[in-house]
Amino acid sequence: MDFRNSFLSAIDRAAIGAKNLVNDLSDSLESFDFDSQLQRLTERRDALIEKGNGLIKDLGDLLKQVKESMTDFSVTVPFDGESGETFEYKINKNQLTVEVTFNDETSSRCSKTTVIIPDNCDVDKLTHKVDKATKSLTITIPKVVEKPKKETKAEKPKTGKKAGKKSADVKPALTRDSRGRFVRAQ
């Protein structure tokens, strides 16, 4: 009988513990404010979306500002000469730095843009143009255009042999490189 009583009391203790656990969990869930937490998470999500949209807009503005074409490389920055802004640009190694400044009696501001100049640009022929309508300054650097070298085609030696036989002294026009691709023989 003693075993029976101790087994039943163990079951009673486990049931009371389970009941207390369920009550504690229920109290925790009732005290948790889902609406405020959901609102907080929604505000965080909206802030992240707004920041992401701002970054995408900034990237789009940068892409509009720096343009590279087949013939030149150009950088466009906001500039209003009529309001008293001045500009200065300089090239240091392969970087172009454009600085637009404004100074008056009460305020001063400076905007600096630095971009990397592509290797094939001729910085000696750099030009700038102020557009009063769009209030912008465009600096253009032409690219060096290399004329393609004219290759003389090697004449194939004329032999009187039949087409099916190969001559030992005639080199093929194409050979294979280390990757197995055909390249012109040198």
147 occurs within a structural domain: no
pLDDT of residue 72: 85
51 and 80 share one domain: no
106 occurs within a structural domain: yes
- Work out the pLDDT band at 90, boundaries 50, 70, 90: very high
The domain in which residue 81 lies consists of 69-142
pLDDT > 70 in the chain, percent = 79
Domain count, the chain: 2
39 and 78 share one domain: no
76 occurs within a structural domain: yes
CATH of residue 86's domain is 2.60.40.790
Instruction: Give 24-27's long-range contacts (Cβ < 8 A, gap of 24+).
Output: none
Q: What is the pLDDT of residues 15-28, one digit of tens each?
A: 998 898 888 888 88
127 and 90 share one domain: yes
The enclosing H or E element of 39 equals helix 34-65
93 occurs within a structural domain: yes
